[in-house]
């Protein structure tokens, strides 16, 4: 590909949108044509993020987009909004592609989407034209779709270490315990309205332990990728840091499968992956190494309980869990080097 991709970012001033614009502004095969929001029209994007040095279009409304001059739209919007936009223009502009960072096209069953998001889906006919894409699992399929559903940050941190082990049939798939801790940016710029617990910026807070809406997403994709129904509990926590996720998965190997074997299987599965880093056995792990990167670090650890292992997975929720993976999906979609603009 010689010409640059003409890009529009809708929802450019949110936490995820700003990371998208930052990485895209440094991407050698991208030309940003529109940066859209509903507020602060006319302002420079650098007003919101001092990292962005390149001269870019000022914030405008979606009405300013000339759709026939755009190749790809990133939609970084609240749940329920992207589906309205895609529904209006999908069939009219047949060369236009979409990467949606909300949940609108992640869930294939509209009833399950409504149950978890309390929004009636307004583009049900387009769901079959969309692909949920953790990039590492969809490099061969992604070219067949115009709508790419970018995964949630928690599900990304969980599926990357878990799916290969289920495929290889080397862990028991009943009663897994999954514990994830995320920086508060994962809740968006209005997180103070969503989380009102005492000492928000100084405490750790467990929430939605029974019915977190990402559970249906994890369930759906594990079944799709492995043909197995997994029984697990998922316990999310908000921690007093801006970005980063650390996920802990407690599991039991099949028969006498060793932690070394489990680590080796992950290393083999991801041997050609640009962003998945399998650490040495029993490595201590936090989110510090992955912040502001598209990397996922994984550590397989022994525990004090016989035949129980712990897998730790760390990502940046705004990058590998959102904007970075969206650009990784874009690169594969347009047959560019996977890590272009993300190094």
Q: Which residues of 245-270 are buried (b: 16+ CB within 10 A; e: fewer)?
A: bbbbbbbbbeeebebeebbebbbebb
- The CA distance from 188 to 199, in Å, is 18
Assess contact for 184 and 241: CB atoms under 8 A: yes
* Cα pseudo-dihedral 96, 102, 103, 105, rounded to 10: 0
The one-character DSSP state at 91 is T
Would the CA dihedral through 276, 280, 286, 291 be positive or negative?
A: negative
98 has which bridge partners? 73, 147
Q: What's the token pair of residue 31?
A: 């030309």
Assess contact for 325 and 342: CB atoms under 8 A: no
Helical spans, DSSP H, in 251-341: 259-269, 324-333
Of 153, 216, 296, 301, the catalytic one is 153
- The CA distance from 186 to 15, in Å, is 8
Contacts 24+ apart (CB under 8 A), 271-276: 273/136, 274/338, 274/339, 275/136, 275/320, 275/328, 275/339, 275/342, 276/136, 276/160
The one-character DSSP state at 57 is P
- Per-position DSSP letters for 5-54, written without gaps between them: EEEEEESTTSHHHHHHHHHHHT-TTEEEEEEE-SSSTT--GGGT-TT--S
Of how many residues is the chain composed?
A: 343
HSE-up of 17 (CA within 13 Å, CB side)? 27
Active site (annotated) includes residue 153: yes
Assess contact for 174 and 231: CB atoms under 8 A: yes
Residues with catalytic annotation? 153
């Amino acid at each position: 590909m010689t010409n640059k991709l003409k890009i529009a970012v809708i929802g450019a001033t949110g936490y995820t949108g700003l990371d998208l614009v930052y990485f895209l502004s440094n991407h050698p095969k991208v030309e940003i044509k529109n940066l859209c929001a509903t507020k602060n029209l006319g302002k420079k994007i650098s007003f919101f993020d001092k990292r962005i040095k390149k001269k870019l279009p000022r914030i405008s409304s979606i009405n300013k987009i000339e759709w026939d001059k755009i190749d790809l739209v990133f939609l970084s919007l609240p749940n329920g909004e992207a589906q309205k936009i895609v529904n209006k223009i999908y069939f009219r502009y047949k060369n236009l592609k979409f990467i949606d960072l909300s949940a609108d096209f992640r869930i294939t069953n509209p009833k399950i989407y409504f149950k978890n998001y309390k929004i009636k889906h307004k583009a049900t006919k387009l769901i079959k034209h969309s692909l949920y894409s953790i990039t590492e699992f969809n490099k061969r399929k992604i070219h067949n779709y115009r709508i790419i559903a970018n995964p949630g940050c928690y599900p990304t941190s969980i599926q990357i270490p878990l799916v290969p082990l289920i495929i290889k049939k080397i862990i028991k798939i009943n009663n897994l315990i999954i514990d994830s801790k995320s920086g508060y940016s994962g809740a968006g710029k209005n997180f103070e309205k969503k989380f009102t617990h005492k000492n928000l910026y100084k405490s750790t807070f467990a929430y939605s332990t029974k019915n977190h809406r990402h559970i249906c997403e994890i369930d759906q994709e594990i079944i799709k990728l492995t043909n197995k129904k997994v029984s697990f509990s998922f316990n999310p926590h908000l921690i007093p840091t801006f970005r980063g996720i650390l996920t802990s998965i407690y599991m039991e190997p099949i028969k006498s499968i060793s932690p070394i074997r489990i680590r080796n299987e992950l290393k083999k599965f991801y041997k050609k992956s640009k962003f998945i880093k399998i650490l040495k056995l029993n490595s201590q792990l936090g989110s510090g190494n992955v912040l502001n990167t598209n990397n996922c670090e994984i550590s397989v650890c022994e525990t004090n309980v016989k035949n129980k292992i712990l897998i730790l997975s760390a990502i940046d929720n705004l990058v590998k869990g959102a904007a970075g993976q969206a650009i990784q999906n874009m690169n594969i979609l347009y047959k560019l080097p996977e890590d272009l603009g993300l190094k």
